[in-house]
Each structure stands twice: as structure tokens, then as C-alpha cells.
Amino acid sequence: MRTATVTIDPLALTHNLMQAKRLAPKSKVLAMVKANAYGHGVAMILPALQQADGVGVASFTEALEARQLGWDKAIGLVEGVFSADEWQQAIDYDCSCVIHHQPQLDWALANIPSSDSATRIVWLKYNTGMNRLGFDYQQTIEAAKQLHQAAFQLILTTHFANADDRKHPLNALQIQRFDEMLALLKKTVSEDVQGSLCNSAGLVNFPEHHYDWVRPGIMLYGSSPVIDKSASELNLKPAMEFSAQIMALSTVNTGEAIGYGSRWIADKPTRTALVSIGYGDGYPRAVNDETHVCVLVKSKTEDSEKSNQSDQGYTSYLCPVRGRVAMDMIVVDVSALPEALPLDSKVVLWGNAPHVDDVAAQAGTIGYELLCRLSARPARVQTI
Ligand SMILES: *Cc1c(COP(=O)(O)O)cnc(C)c1O
């Protein structure tokens, strides 16, 4: 059987959530689970996030899924609602919404939820420099006044454009604008206005600016949110392992090319393994010739010297990908491995090693994209 598999480790998720809470001990945590929990599957990860104060989603459909799975704490719709009808649905399912433009403000003021409704809490979005969603300076003050008069509770929010790069000059400006607005609203509108600034990268890079709510996403899944530290340096554990199996073994003679476009040409006789994974599963076609996968071979003691690590009776070998990634398979160079390589040997595309952030760098993208764009084909399982 073809065995492309996405394995979710709930303990890693909980560990990463605890790491976020340790870094932001005074803030509540809105754990971001949009895009099917960054490709991990909302149903699989929600039980591991019980210690979050709420979950953040990008669409009402995602909010509904979380409610149907029994999530009874806060849900934040980070793009807010898209119509007056959807505002009513948000009320029906007790969701808190971002309000980022005038139509959303109108829908909210025309249909004020009851005093015990979570929808009474709104996330008022102030544009501090990202220049996508949000009100400008004057509009934010005006919207805050109107919402407060209509008995809404306010969380002032904004989103960083460059938090992954601690030294980027826009960070200081966004922080300053946010800080000034929050102080102004506290003074002129209500002492109770709360603040929420940080995504994962902000949470890691700007410990002085966590405010009332932090909104970690990518770090919960064990990928590094910042450019100057790896996931393991941040003590984050990958919540996903993406794996397949060797489906056939072959040998390529000197001068012969492998795969579509004949991109890679053997400069010596090369033993290859065909692995049943491809871009049809979500493995990126764009990876370069430096990309590796990890082949796990049942250990025989004499093999273990050549390997990088050995655990639970398996020896793991990093092997380079050769030639183009196809829809259903890739070819890897196993010349350095024992000749008697069992056909069912497991191949890890990303997980502990290689890390998804490494593969992303080799494919010219970011871990977020690789995680989110896995296809429906791989089987989904969890470690416990
Ligand atoms: C997705 C999202 C986050 C989480 O971002 P990460 O970089 O994954 O931590 C935080 N806030 C908002 C508004 C978002 O849309």
C-alpha cells in the first residue's frame, strides 16, 4: 500500500503552547488554528490546545468546525465577518470578531449582541503599517467611541509586517503607534480597552509588548517564527512528521540522468531509492539539489557507524533528493546506505530531521506554506 502519511504529535503541540505561555506569562493566548490548523487538522490538534484561552480562525466555517468539535472557549475571527448575516451567525456561535472596516462596524452597531455574549467583545483593528486591514488613526478613535457607547468591550489589535526580523525599523514604529493608540483609548474611551499585538514572531522578539492577548500560530506547530533562531534553539518541537516509504530500488550508471527534464546527471554509479511521495501529496516541486530526506533503516549494529543517530532500533540516514520531484514520487541517493535496504524503509520528508523550515528554505518558501498546502492524499494519523 502507498503510505504517504502525516503524523501529528499532540504532545509536541502542548509543549509548544506551554513554551508560548512561558514566554508571555501575563497574556492570554489566542492559539491560531486557521487553515485547518496550519495543515495539521483542527480535529487532531484542538485536544492538545486545551490550555489556550481561545482559538483564532480566518473564516466563520473554521469557527463552526471548532464549535462542532466541542471547543467551548473563545473563538476569534481574525478577518471578522463578511456580511450582516454572518455577524448574526457569529452571535449565534458566540464568536468574537475583528472589526477592520466600516461595513463591519455598521453590521455590529445595527445588531448588538446580548450582554453575556462573547460577540460583545470585538477586536478593533488599527492599521499601524501593514497596510492591509484596519482603520487609520482618526477612524480607530471614532470606531472605538461608537463601539464603546454601544456597550461593546474592546481589544485594540494590529498585526506586525516584519516581526520575524527583530531589527527591522518598521517594528519600532508599529509598536509606537499601537502603544500610543492604546494609551489614548484607555484615557478617552475606557480604562478597560485591552491590547493584542503579537503573533509568534512578536511574542519571541518583543517580550516588552505582549499586552493582554498574544496570538501565536506557527510556533505552536514547531516551526521557527524568526529569522535568526531555529525551532530547536527556541525549544519548539515539530508537531508534524511527513513520511512515506521506499517503493523500489535501482542503480543509475555514470552519465545517466534521473527524472523529468533530466535535471540531475550521475557522475558515478549511483544507487537510488524511489520514494512514493510527490507534489500530489504536498511535497514541494521547487526543492533544490541540496535537499535531503531521512531514511530510517532497521538497525543492524554494524551499520550504525555511518549514521547520524540511532533510536528505537532504527538508524537514520540523510539522503539527497536527485532530479525533479514528480506528482507521485521522488528519487533519493542511497549510495551511502547498506545494500540490503528493505523496501518498507520509512522515509521522513520533514519532522525532526529534516525540519520543515530547512525544506522550505530549499524550496524558496516558508514552513507555513509547506504545512498548509499538504494535499488530501496522505493518510492522517497521530502518535498517541
Ligand atoms: C495568522 C495570524 C497570526 C499568527 O501568526 P504566526 O506568524 O503564525 O504566529 C496572528 N495574528 C493574526 C491576525 C493572524 O492572522
pLDDT digits (tens, 9 = 90+) for 262-283: 999 999 999 999 999 999 999 9
| Closest residue to atom 4 of ligand 1, CA basis | 217
Tell me the three cell numbers of residue 367: 514552513
Which CATH superfamily does the domain covering 10-221 fall into?
Alanine racemase (3.20.20.10)
Q: Are 81 and 107 in contact (CB under 8 A)?
A: yes
Three cell numbers, residue 366: 516558508
Mean pLDDT across the chain, nearest whole number?
A: 96
Cell reading at 280:
500530489
Tell the residue nearest (CA) to atom 3 of ligand 1.
199
The CA 80 to ligand 1 mean position distance, Å, reads 14
CB 211 within 8 A of CB 28: no
Q: In the chain, which residue ranges form alpha helices assigned H by DSSP?
A: 10-23, 34-38, 42-45, 60-68, 84-92, 102-110, 137-149, 169-188, 200-205, 356-362, 367-372
The label of the residue with cell 507534489 reads 279
Burial class from Cβ neighbours inside 10 Å (0-12, 13-18, 19+) for residue 295 reads buried
Angle between helices 137-149 and 169-188 (to 10 degrees): 30
For residue 54, the CA-to-ligand 1 centroid distance in Å is: 13
Q: Are 61 and 37 in contact (CB under 8 A)?
A: no
pLDDT tens for each residue of 56-80: 999 999 999 999 999 999 999 999 9
> What's the CA gap between 61 and 184, in Å, rounded?
35
Is the per-residue pLDDT at 91 higher than 90?
Answer: yes
Summarize pLDDT for 221-253 with one digit per residue, the tens: 999 999 999 999 999 999 999 999 999 999 999
Give distance in angstroms: CA of 199 to centre of ligand 1: 5
- Which of 21, 28, 221, 260 does the annotation list as catalytic? 260
Query: Does 317 qualify as catalytic in the annotation?
Result: no
* 240-382 topology per CATH: Lyase, Ornithine Decarboxylase; Chain A, domain 1 (2.40.37)
pLDDT value of residue 157? 98
Q: Which residues neighbour 68 within 8 Å (Cβ) at sequence distance 6 or greater?
A: none
Q: 21, 26, 28, 34: which one is catalytic?
A: 34
In the chain, the amino acid numbered 154 is L
| pLDDT tens sequence across 318-356 | 999 999 999 999 999 999 999 889 998 999 999 999 999
Domain ranges across the chain? 10-221, 240-382
- Compute, in angstroms, the gap from residue 203 CA to the centroid of ligand 1: 11
CB 142 within 8 A of CB 161: no
As a dihedral over the C-alpha atoms of residue 328, residue 330, residue 334, residue 335, rounded to 10 degrees, the angle is 130
Burial degree of 64 (CB within 10 A; 0-12, 13-18, 19+): middle
Q: Is the pTM of this model over 0.85?
A: yes
pLDDT tens digits for range 148-172:
999 999 999 999 999 999 999 999 9
Q: What is the pLDDT of residue 315?
A: 93
Distance 132 CA to ligand 1 centre (A): 14
Cis peptide before 269 (omega within 30 of 0): no
pLDDT at 304: 47
- Please choose from 16, 132, 199, 236 the residue to mutate so as to test ligand 1's pocket, defined by most ligand atoms within 8 A of CB: 199
The cell for 225 is 517564527
Give just the sign of the alpha carbon dihedral 88, 90, 91, 93. Answer: positive
Is the CB–ligand 1 distance for residue 125 below 6 Å? no
Mean pLDDT score, 14-38: 98
pLDDT in tens, 99-127: 999 999 999 999 999 999 999 999 999 99
State pLDDT tens for residues 193-211.
Answer: 999 999 999 999 999 999 9
- Cβ–ligand 1 contact at 291 (below 6 Å): no
Q: Report the C-alpha gap between 17 and 31 in whole angstroms.
A: 8
Q: Is 134 close to ligand 1, i.e. is its CB under 6 Å away?
A: no
Q: What's the length of the chain?
A: 384
Residue in 159, 215, 218, 219 to alter for ligand 1 test, most ligand atoms within 8 A of Cβ: 215
154 CB neighbour count, 10 Å cutoff: 23
Residue 148's Cα: distance from chain center in Å? 34
- In three-state secondary structure terms, 296 is strand
User: Cα 179 to chain center, whole Å?
Assistant: 27
Q: Is the pLDDT at 310 greater than 70, yes or no? A: no
Dihedral angle over CA of 117, 60, 159, 46, nearest 10: 90
- Whether 260 sits among the annotated catalytic residues: the reply is yes
Question: What residues pair up with 188 in beta bridges, in sequence order?
Answer: none
